[in-house]
Amino acid sequence: MNARALLPLGRSEMEGDERKRVLVVGGSGYLGQHLLAALASGGDVDVAFSHHRDAAPRQLLDALPGIRAFRVDLRSGDGLEAVSASFGQPHVIVNCAAISVPRACETDPAAAMATNVPSSLVNWSLSFGNDKSLLIHLSTDQVYEGVKSFYKEEDETLPVNMYGKSKVAAEKFITEKCSNYAILRSSIIYGPQTISPVDKSLPIQWMDDVLSQGQEVNFFNDEYRCPVYVKDMVDVILSFTKSWLSDGKKVQVLMNIGGPDRVSRLQMAASVANVRGYSHSTIKSVPASSVNRGVASPPDISMDITKLTQMLGIQPITFHDGVRATLDAEAST
């Protein structure tokens, strides 16, 4: 599904002449920037984003001049009132903000809970006193224990680390407090670099870089995920956004978002090598137990995405095709 096809919205789909407002929380992050670019290309919605640093990325503001930026501290809620005063009540709030590095969450559990459970954000949205806002919240596949393949949404959540525990707590808070929500349990998100390059290492680009050097590199052979191409994730968010802005019907959805392929890090590296034509001789297969990462990691959190494909009609691209699209995009820039 093409992201551009989902927006803009025609006037007949709007309430009167009021322009709809979408707020992307954590918009300067990886998924946030890709989402902002897609929203900006659509046209007929007003878009704003929040960031936690002193200043929003200049490259991002220059590339998307029609988008508003607000500094917000999600732990305290500082800055949200400025959004109310200057931008207004958002019709859609997309929460991409999180401490998403498991080891960082393990090191500082209090910070993980304070950031990853969006209590200030939810309470702010409730302060408007109506049901006109939809919260689209990014959760994670790490809410699952990881002892079987292809988890379904109704399976029990038994996270093995603080990151997963904070995300389970967030899901519980949202489902108890919010009238309208879409909670998206995302696998690893991969794809091209952002408008303003993010600090974190991107998985496909990192693998391409180390494999291109021709030196042996270890890759885990016994941890499985269903990585999702970033443009597919954006399409999912835009699909929920368009539906809500069009009809405003009650939304209470919990959904797995991943690609169609269950792959290990070893298989991911092999796909990169295949696309690039690198030798596989430098790819070394090792168990995850060979490295002490300072945090427990679930072995198999592959997910069943039947609900995604049937409810939204979105068919995520294969991992191999996503790798090719990622590396083609990098080459073009």
**pLDDT by residue (tens digit) across 178-195?**
999 999 999 999 999 999
Tokens of 118: 């969006």
What is the C-alpha separation between 1 and 128, in angstroms, rounded? Answer: 34
**Smallest Cα–Cα separation from 198: which of 34, 22, 23, 25?**
34
How many Å apart are CA 199 and CA 29, to the nearest integer?
9
Rounded to an integer, the average pLDDT of 231-249 is 97
Q: What is the mean pLDDT of residues 317-330?
A: 97
> Where do the H-state alpha helices sit in the chain?
3-6, 30-42, 58-63, 80-86, 102-107, 109-116, 119-126, 162-177, 203-212, 230-247, 265-276, 306-312, 319-332
Q: What radius of gyration do the chain's Cα atoms show? A: 20
Q: What is the pLDDT of residues 169-180, one digit of tens each?
A: 999 999 999 999
DSSP state of 271: H
Distance CA 235, CA 1 (A): 7
pTM score, whole prediction: 0.94
Give the model's confidence band at 18: pLDDT under 50 very low, under 70 low, under 90 confident, else very high: confident
Structure tokens at 279: 């030798």
Residue 246: which of 20, 88, 36 has the closest Cα? 20
Give which of 52, 51, 164 is closest to 105, Cα–Cα.
164
Cis bond before residue 8 (omega within 30° of 0): yes
Q: Which of 152, 53, 159 is nearest to 112 (CA)?
A: 159
As a residue count, the chain comes to 333
Pairwise CA distance, residues 23 & 147, whole Å: 37
Confidence of residue 17 (pLDDT cuts 50, 70, 90): low
CB distance 24 to 49 below 8 Å: yes
Angle at 327 between CA 186 and CA 49, to 5 degrees: 45
| Inter-residue contact 312 to 236 (CB < 8 Å) | yes
Summarize the confidence of residues 109-134 as an average pLDDT: 97
Q: What is residue 162's DSSP assignment?
A: H
Biggest alpha carbon–alpha carbon distance for the chain: 63
In this structure, which amino acid lies at residue 190?
Answer: Y
Residues 7-11 have a mean pLDDT of 40
pLDDT reported for residue 332: 86
Q: How far is CA 127 from CA 121, 123, 246, 256, in A?
A: 10, 6, 23, 29
pLDDT at 326 over 50: yes
CB of 184 within 8 A of CB of 257? Answer: yes
Confidence check: pLDDT of 11 > 80: no
Q: What is the pLDDT of residue 333?
A: 76
Name the average pLDDT for the chain.
94
Take residue 243 and report the two structure tokens written for it.
């539906």
Say what the pLDDT of residue 5 is: 39
Q: Which residue has the tokens 């929500």?
A: 181
pLDDT at 2 over 80: no
The percentage of residues in the chain with a pLDDT greater than 90, rounded to a whole number, is 92
The token duo for 57 is 């990325």
Least confident stretch, 6-10, 17-21, 216-220, 304-308? 6-10
Query: Which pLDDT value is given to residue 12?
Result: 35
pLDDT computed for residue 1 by the predictor:
37
Chain centroid to CA 172: 19
Residue 15 phi/psi, 5° resolution?
-85, 105
